[in-house]
Amino acid sequence: MALNIRKIGVVGAGQMGSGIAHVCALAGLNVLLNDVSADRINAGMATINGNMARQVSRKRISDDERQAALKRIAAADTFDALGDCDLVIEAATEKEDVKRSIFTNLCSSLKPETIVGSNTSSISITRLASSTDRPERFIGIHFMNPVPLMELVEVIRGIATDDQTFEATKQFVTKLGKTIAVAEDFPAFIVNRVLMPMINEAIYTLYEGVGNVEAIDTAMRLGAHHPMGPLELADFIGLDTCLSVMQVLHDGLADSKYRPCPLLVKYVEAGWLGRKTQRGFYDYRGQKPVPTR
């Protein structure tokens, strides 16, 4: 009998965490949103409110649904506040030491049967599970960005994840109206294993002078029918995240084809991380984005 998941904890109120809380609340689940400060939680709540208002204006949901969903989300200032959750999803930054530290501190606050999930886009689920007191109740639940719009969730079992946890997680993802892709626990799973090397190759194409930013993005939009060019997409994802995933692939698979492009490294060192810092492969500080190369 799979655990019935009714109450969700989300650790991390940034872009991904607020998106996960958003879709859970709309699906009728109660959500507790946690982050390191009240300011961050409030910013996450404001993002959710704004995104739901946009869905109302586009007639995707009714205003009644929006108001009901917002009432299901509450702030959790501490891990102890997540004590009665059935599932807690970590959506912190894509750094293994940060995630491990969260799991080490979180688990003592939870019920023994609580499932712990990670929204990691690339890090070993088996390795993250080893920093918890419940590897059999630990699983990868990788949502795509932006969560309210993207239909897919990758579900990744670690070596110790038991069948009950797997079944309960699949039921939970289905309840959110998302489609599941089950991935094995190899570096970057499915989506990023294919997507990130493509983005990295686009950056190499820029680095080697094969085309400028505009030419590369136009070529892939119109030549391969991608909705967004790879460099524009990299800016949207965050160049630091792209670099982290490429490093995980390179370290985990030891294949030179996953070597991060030196230009990607340089942009990250400059703090030009894409949209979130107003500069990446495009400069977002004016009326419209301008290529930086």
pLDDT in tens, 105-163: 999 999 999 999 999 999 999 999 999 999 999 999 999 999 999 999 999 999 999 99
Residue 177 pLDDT greater than 80, yes or no: yes
Sheet holding 87-90, edge to edge: 73-76, 30-34, 7-11, 87-90, 115-118, 138-143, 152-157, 179-183
Name the residue among 103, 135, 140 with its Cα closest to residue 12.
103
> What does the block give as tokens for 210?
């094969």
Domain(s) of CATH 1.10.1040.10: residues in the chain:
193-291
> What does the block give as tokens for 14?
């940034």
Domain(s) of CATH 3.40.50.720: residues in the chain:
7-183
Q: Is 177 exposed, middle or buried (0-12, 13-18, 19+ CB in 10 A)?
A: exposed
151 is catalytic: no
Q: Is 150 exposed, middle or buried (0-12, 13-18, 19+ CB in 10 A)?
A: middle
Q: Are strands 87-90 and 73-76 parallel, antiparallel or unpaired?
A: unpaired
Residue 252 pLDDT greater than 90, yes or no: yes
Instruction: Please determine, looking at this structure, whether the domain spanning 7-183 carries the CATH number 3.40.50.10490.
Output: no
122 is catalytic: no
Instruction: Report the amino acid identity of residue 293.
Output: R
Q: Return d(Cα 279, Cα 180) in angstroms, integer.
A: 34
Q: Which CATH number fits domain 193-291: 1.10.3080.10, 3.10.560.10, 3.30.70.640, 1.10.1040.10?
A: 1.10.1040.10
pLDDT in tens, 180-194: 999 999 999 999 999
Residue 239 pLDDT greater than 60, yes or no: yes
| 1: confidence class by pLDDT, cuts 50, 70, 90 | very low
Q: Which of 18, 34, 118, 121 is catalytic?
A: 121
Better-predicted residue by pLDDT, 133 or 2: 133
154 is catalytic: yes
Name the residue among 134, 131, 123 with its Cα closest to residue 156.
123
> What does the block give as tokens for 211?
């085309």
The rounded percent of the chain whose pLDDT value lies above 70 is 99
Q: Are 159 and 136 in contact (CB under 8 A)?
A: no
Q: Which of 18, 118, 131, 154 is catalytic?
A: 154
In the chain, at which residue ranges do the beta strands (DSSP E only) sit?
Answer: 7-11, 30-34, 73-76, 87-90, 115-118, 138-143, 152-157, 179-183, 282-283, 290-291
Q: Are strands 282-283 and 290-291 parallel, antiparallel or unpaired?
A: antiparallel
**The pTM is what?**
0.93
Would the CA dihedral through 286, 287, 289, 291 be positive or negative?
negative
Q: Which of 94, 118, 142, 232 is catalytic?
A: 142
First and final C-alpha spacing in the chain: 56
Q: Which of 122, 131, 192, 244 is catalytic?
A: 192
Residue 251 φ then ψ, to 5°: -70, -40
> What does the block give as tokens for 270?
């400059």
Q: Return d(Cα 12, Cα 21) in angstroms, integer.
A: 10
200 is catalytic: no
What residues contact 188, with CB distance under 8 A and at least 6 apart? 121, 122, 196, 245, 248, 249, 252
